[in-house]
Amino acid sequence: MMKNNTGEIGDWRLEIGKISQSPISNLHQNVLGLLQTMRPRQWLKNGFVFAALLFDGKLRFSEFESIGRVLIAFILFCLISSTVYIMNDLMDIESDRQHPRKRQRPLPSGRLHPQVARIGFLALAIGSMAVSFWLDGLWLTKLSWILLVYLVAQVAYTFHFKQVVLLDVAFIAAGFVLRVAAGVAVIQVARFSPWLYVCTGLLALFMALGKRRHELVLLGNGAGGHRAILEEYTIDLIDRLMSIVTTGALVAYGLYTFMADGLPANHTMMLTIPFVLYGMFRWLYLIHVKQEGGAPEEMVLRDRPLQIDLLLWLIVVFLVLYV
């Protein structure tokens, strides 16, 4: 009789243990984990949405409506990009456990229940798309379609193209171009140049290749175990590709500064070229000497010389276009 009672007590404790591990019992931990998986730090990338506002000369108090529209587009892009981050982490739980840093993320570390992540993914995707289509009806823009193309492209990247050499970094770059296009879609641009799409795409390729290089250096011979596509790359190949992209980006930006319509006739926009040149040189220094590059947004938030260079570039651009 005592044996049976002991068995029942053991079963009862086991059930309590299962309940304590459920998403509901760890709600606070799961909410924090979901917020971390949304990666607020990486929302810095969505700042490319403001490119149209800055370079079209609409960053003024009189353009309150345009600023408000771009700000809403920025928020929607933050939400839709967060759905992509959640989806990526759900797909890469096992491979992330092999990575020295990514294993600390909420999903691979067990701090976020996969079911909570799936619910968060659906809620963010459906909610942000619904709001964007509603705004399209009010503003007569194509913001919702740009967001939809971005989401579909990222789903295609996650399930297939992240394993296709060269196209994997191309899809990353396309996401940044779509961010710029979203800003253009919600305002009436008059001076925005298509050259900026080229510059954005090349800059994004530059950062994506730097991230691949960092992964190869960090993981060494075990790189393929974390991300299979890394077996298709070598450090020498990435360095050659980065040289091509760096040259292309600098040439494209230089051509923009004195060939694009809507810029001052005295070509003072060329004064911004040294800041772009230094910024790319500094990025290469951080990648090759400091062995960084795995998280571009962290590099921008942490490296003081890069921050000062970016601030000075923005100041000179503002003076040229607005003063």
Same domain, 150 and 215: no
Same domain, 43 and 116: yes
Q: Give me the domain span that covers residue 153.
A: 28-192
Same domain, 44 and 188: yes
Same domain, 136 and 187: yes
Same domain, 157 and 215: no
Same domain, 148 and 281: no
Q: Contact at 8 Å (CB) between 204 and 172?
A: yes
Same domain, 178 and 236: no
pTM higher than 0.85, yes or no?
yes
Instruction: Note whether residue 7 is domain-resident.
Output: no
Domain count, the chain: 2
Instruction: For the chain, give the percent of residues with pLDDT over 70.
Output: 92
Same domain, 256 and 141: no
Instruction: Note whether residue 77 is domain-resident.
Output: yes
Instruction: Note whether residue 165 is domain-resident.
Output: yes
Same domain, 166 and 235: no
Q: Contact at 8 Å (CB) between 234 and 242?
A: no
Q: Contact at 8 Å (CB) between 218 and 226?
A: no
Spell out the SS3 assignment of 3-27: HHHHHHHHHHHHHHHHHHCCCCCCH
Q: What is the pLDDT of residues 177-207, one digit of tens each?
A: 999 999 999 998 988 999 999 999 999 999 9
Same domain, 108 and 240: no
Instruction: Note whether residue 9 is domain-resident.
Output: no
Same domain, 169 and 205: no
Q: How far apart are CA 182 and CA 189, in angstroms?
A: 12
Q: What is the pLDDT of residues 120-167, one digit of tens each?
A: 999 999 999 999 999 998 888 899 999 999 999 999 999 999 999 999
The crossing angle, in degrees rounded to 10, of helices 114-139 and 27-37 is 50
For residues 11 and 84, which has the higher predicted lDDT (pLDDT)? 84
Q: What is the pLDDT of residues 219-240, one digit of tens each?
A: 887 777 677 899 999 999 999 9
pLDDT above 60: residue 2: no
Between the alpha carbon of residue 176 and those of residues 44, 97, 125, 133, 200, the distances in Å are: 12, 28, 19, 21, 7
